[in-house]
Amino acid sequence: MELVSRNPATGEVVARYPVMSDAELDATLDAVGAAQQSWRSMALDDRIGAILSLAEVLERHRDEAAQLAAIEMGKPVAQGRAEIEKCAWACRSLAEQAPTALSPMDVPTEFRRSRVVFDPLGVVLAIMPWNFPFWQVVRAAVPALLAGNAVVVKHSPEVTGCALLLQRIAEQAGLGEVYRTIRATHEQVGRLIGDRRIAAVTLTGSTRAGRIVAARAGEMLKKTVLELGGSDPYIVLADADLDATVETCAAARMINSGQSCIAAKRFIVAEAVRARFEEMLRERLRRYEPGDPLDGSTSLGPLARGDLAETLDRQARESIRRGARIVLGGGPTGVGAFVRPIVLADVVPGMPAFDEETFGPLAAIVSARDDEEAIALANRSPYGLGAAIFTRDLDRAEQLARRLDAGSVFVNALVRSDPRLPFGGVKDSGWGRELSLFGVREFVNVKTVVVA
């Protein structure tokens, strides 16, 4: 069996990669497990040094990585360069946070000494997606590595070239023994989750994949972090600065051609400003014209696969059939996996544009009478990843933010992951946290040590 990478702009095959045999996977686990024993015993300062080296090597490969992502999954090269720069920032930020996150905690008790220490779990299996082929891996792997774990990465087959480049980057940074990329089938991954040499699993992917992985890991009583889908609501209140709000909302919907779990997907707008918001968003999104992702001026590349464009088209058509109104009529161009932006209004629960995650440039506008209805509509979703509120009343916004079912709420800004802050969701968006000191502590044994 082989893994196939295709250029979504043209449909042409980029490369074919053989799947690893069971014997190769077995040897990899043995080697990584042995290396992790040395890595965990290393001084934290030395692990931090390796991660800082990783940041430097990533920056040296920035242009190469961005071009490869453009070819394999259609990300415009300007966004690909920004992705690598964010990876380097995360390495440096997490390295700075690691001493605080991992320092032993002394707890006063009647004993001579009572201490909480944070020991690594072992080898973490990371199952990664295609949409941010470098950032998602760095976000999951770097905190685990800093904590003293080793990481085995099973990347999405669409971006195997990116996965292998990241492996070379890790090797150049001195992490090659504790960071290993594998090429495996779903069946092989299922067996790996059950393997005693795998201590924990982290997955970024669909809710369906999350349920499968959680069930298998739960059967084996293994710790998991699941960063799954999202249908982020952006609530626009009547007093919002519409010029700034629309600019932010458009950027939040269109990042990575709309293929982001934390992209803005449902715009819940106060009725008093809904008509103007519709008009302004339509005019802003109309400027996004599909183009060659290898062109530095392109802001809208193709979706990663043709079937993703077909799914988005189905979601739009079915929503229109159920009563949604076309504000901007885009859709598949018929060339590669390119899709022009779509804006639908009068979207209500029961439509795919409201109920499902729309992974592409489709904006759904939902009308709300007041704050109470806006919160109810925002929470009327199986997802709970990110959310945003736009208003001039910041105290009011903070009160509303506490009522939203989401792992992150941003006020007057687009939802984003930041290495200084914990990232993750609730409900069907998963559990556990990445990034910040919370992410560094996810794959550790929180161990109590008492000396009488």
Q: Which among 72, 158, 227, 357 is annotated as catalytic? A: 227
Instruction: Determine how β-strand 264-270 pairs with β-strand 232-236.
Output: parallel
Query: Where on the phi/psi map is residue 21: left (φ > 0), alpha (ψ -120 to 50), or beta?
Result: beta
Q: How many residues does the chain have?
A: 452
87 is known as an active-site residue: no
For residue 99, count CB atoms less than 10 angstroms from its CB and return exposed for 0-12, middle for 13-18, buried for 19 or more: middle
Rg (CA), the chain: 22
Closest to 427 in 3D by CA, of 451, 406, 447: 406
Q: Which two tokens stand for residue 237?
A: 């209140």
Q: Which among 87, 158, 261, 356 is annotated as catalytic? A: 261
Helix, coil or strand: residue 18: strand
The DSSP result for 91-109, as a single string, is: HHHHHHHHHHHHS-EE---
How far apart (Å, rounded) are the C-alpha atoms in residues 373 and 351? 18
261 is known as an active-site residue: yes
How far apart (Å, rounded) are the C-alpha atoms in residues 282 and 382? 27
Closest to 415 in 3D by CA, of 423, 403, 427: 423
Alpha-carbon dihedral angle through residues 149, 154, 156, 158, given to the nearest 10 degrees: 120
Name the residues annotated as catalytic: 227, 261
